[in-house]
Amino acid sequence: MSRFSELEEQLGELISEHLRFTTGRSASPSEVRSWNRSLPVLASDLVDAGLGEVEMLVEYRLPLSGKRVDVLLAGHHPETNDHSYVVVELKQWSEAESWEEDPTMVLVPQQPGGPKLHPVLQVRGYCDYIGDFVSTVTDPEKQLRGAAYLHNAYDPAVCDLFDLSQDDNGRLFTAQRRGEFLDFLRGRLAPLSGAESADHLLGGRTRPSKQLMKVAATEVKERTQFTLLDEQRTAFQMVMHAVERAHEEDRKTAVIITGGPGSGKSVIALSLLGELSRKGVSTMHATGSKAFTETMRKVAGRRSTRVKELFKYFNSFMEASKNQFEVLICDESHRIRESSANRFTKATLRTGRPQVDELLSAARVPVFLLDEHQVVRPGEMGTAETIRQHAEDMGLEVHQIDLSGQFRCGGSELYEAWVLRLLGLAPGGPVSWAGDDNFSLSTAASPAEMEQLLRPTPEQGDSARLSAGYCWVWSKAEKDRPLENDVRIGEWERPWNSRLERWLPGVPPSALWATEAGGFDQVGCVYTAQGFEYDWSGVILGPDLLFRGGRLVIDRAANRDPAMGKKATDTEAESLIRNTYKVLLTRGMRGTLLYSTDPETQEFLTALVNRTV
């Protein structure tokens, strides 16, 4: 057996070991089979094309992303001698067809999971991403190309796939077109060593390109029509001034912006992203909430998948170098956790470094927008004092501004103060609801009545949602089955919102529960409601919040949130549960309906609100 054959047999095992070391996860058997079958084919093609010295970067990880490219070929352009890169998506498919005559999606026989993205669009997206975020690819139009290679397929078995138009970043080749594929490679890569080009690519910094900034500026500006008022404008200008000073005086500044629900924190965040992008300032947006991040991607990047990549998660910056970006906008900063590490984190990154330090380090002007009363999960530590202390320990200048305006809950500061006193988050104890012409508050006699009162609102052009404290077990969602009715109160029962990332019939994915049609028919939890607003809010207080002895007290044992577990102390659990209801009670723009599963608490709320419904 030749040495090359021996390496082929070991290839999948070697790559699997490398993946386990670098990511902390093990490769699946199907991945190993794919490497063993596809990579030797591509390597043989390169040799036959006279390109045996070209570097193959296998499982190249896209920066600030968990996604990986099958193979990225690195070498020199045969005409310019400049660095040249080819992204190759390898498919073992022997047959495939368009899905329901949609050329962007394909069905592959014998493969589970339903329709898949067309491989040309897949590889084109990878090319766009690399061009947008890898600073050493200075001229993507000249340096970067992409191809999908179906090395087991012949044209008749995949003829539908050629209906989709191709371009330089998305070419399609089959085994029948192997000769064309070799010519394509020779046109982009010279028969020289690609080691230097590979090192050049891997050594590049990660940051949004100027071209992407230009696209983002247009997209954010056109999708969001914001008017910043008073402290909002002050906060905006404070960040812009810090950016100017960072350039002129080589000074690093952290900006902390605090405010309650609806005070305009996210409006400021998107306004900053749009304006800084217009100026060509490398800027990223991050949150600790999947639902919020996915919605921001949907709102601000509706027409541009590239713009969506500006929205990341807090744990995306574990490997960011110091001042890698000029500005990092950390929205929902109360979701900052003690550490970015989790069970999938590779051992070399388990440094124990606080997540807040990673975020502070990643940009010359880190911006934190937060509401301290929205810390709802154990391990979250996003407070203004914590951020300030860490920033000052790192030698940063810190500016802070507090937003006093109230734009949620009908702009009713009276209602927000009522909620804080009700939950014991502000002194003075619960008080009767005095009423506010700008906001409606009432109680419902049952969850069925609550649902009946709110259901007609969408027909009137308003939005409405039902949410509840986490006091019922949440069944696992299955893609081919209806949701279980987990929330059961007497004869009334409804499912929690879907946990899945894909649509079920009439049921939006978890991240879109608060914003997409169909969400009213499920009960939302704090994790899907946080960061969002809707016109009318129905809130079910579970048995973890009870009226006893003249005030609302916490019964931790009635809470079913697995995140609470044994990690939180009783004191922490009490604070988290109170904050959870604070979030749920401040989602409505026009009004809130209340119902408690506990009769004594329901009687107390009804008397307090002076129900008129």
Q: Which structure tokens are listed for 87?
A: 């992204």
Amino acid identity, residue 4?
Answer: F
- Residue 289, pLDDT score: 81
Return the SS3 of 287.
Answer: strand
Q: Which residue has the higher pLDDT, 299 or 597?
A: 597
Annotate 337-385 with DSSP letters as a single string: BSBS--TTS-GGG----BHHHHHHHHEEEEEEEE-GGG--STTB---HH
**What is the CATH number that goes with domain 210-403?**
3.40.50.300
- Residue 29, pLDDT score: 73
Distances in Å between the alpha carbon of 571 and those of 477, 574, 583?
Answer: 32, 5, 19
Q: What is the pLDDT confidence band of residue 4, given thresholds at 50, 70 and 90?
A: very low
**0.75 exceeded by pTM:** no
Paired strand residues for 510: none
Q: Which residue has the higher pLDDT, 9 or 511?
A: 511
Q: What is the pLDDT confidence band of residue 44, given thresholds at 50, 70 and 90?
A: very high
- Residue 612, pLDDT score: 44
Nearest-CA neighbor of 538 among 554, 521, 555? 521
Residue 133 and residue 206 in contact, taking contact as beta carbons nearer than 8 Å: yes
- Residue 564, pLDDT score: 80
Distances in Å between the alpha carbon of 270 and those of 356, 367, 446, 533?
Answer: 21, 12, 39, 16
Question: Has residue 348 got a pLDDT over 70?
Answer: no
User: Average pLDDT in the 14-26 region?
Assistant: 63
- Residue 611, pLDDT score: 47
CB atoms within 10 A of CB 495: 18
pLDDT tens, residue by residue, 85-97: 999 999 999 999 9
Query: What is the DSSP pairing of strand 55-61 with strand 68-76?
Result: antiparallel
Q: Which residue has the higher pLDDT, 21 or 186?
A: 186
Q: Which residue has the higher pLDDT, 343 or 66?
A: 66
Question: Has residue 528 got a pLDDT over 70?
Answer: yes
Q: Which residue has the higher pLDDT, 480 or 419?
A: 419
pLDDT tens, residue by residue, 151-162: 999 999 999 999
pLDDT tens, residue by residue, 229-283: 667 878 888 899 899 888 777 789 999 999 877 777 888 888 898 889 888 899 9
- Residue 3, pLDDT score: 41
Nearest-CA neighbor of 152 among 228, 91, 64? 91
Q: Which residue has the higher pLDDT, 499 or 328?
A: 328
Question: Has residue 323 got a pLDDT over 90?
Answer: yes
- Residue 8, pLDDT score: 56
| Average pLDDT over all residues of the chain | 86
User: Average pLDDT in the 109-137 region?
Assistant: 87
Question: Has residue 383 got a pLDDT over 50?
Answer: yes
User: Average pLDDT in the 436-444 region?
Assistant: 89
Q: What is the pLDDT confidence band of residue 135, given thresholds at 50, 70 and 90?
A: confident
Residue recorded with tokens 């006893």: 548
pLDDT tens, residue by residue, 543-575: 999 999 888 999 999 999 987 876 788 888 899
pLDDT tens, residue by residue, 54-70: 999 998 988 877 678 99
- Residue 2, pLDDT score: 43
pLDDT tens, residue by residue, 170-225: 999 999 999 999 999 999 999 999 999 999 999 887 777 766 666 666 666 654 55
Instruction: Return the biggest CA–CA distance within the chain.
Output: 87
Those residues whose C-beta lies under 8 Å from the C-beta of residue 124, and which sit 6 or more positions away, are: 146, 167, 169, 170
Residue 345 and residue 243 in contact, taking contact as beta carbons nearer than 8 Å: no
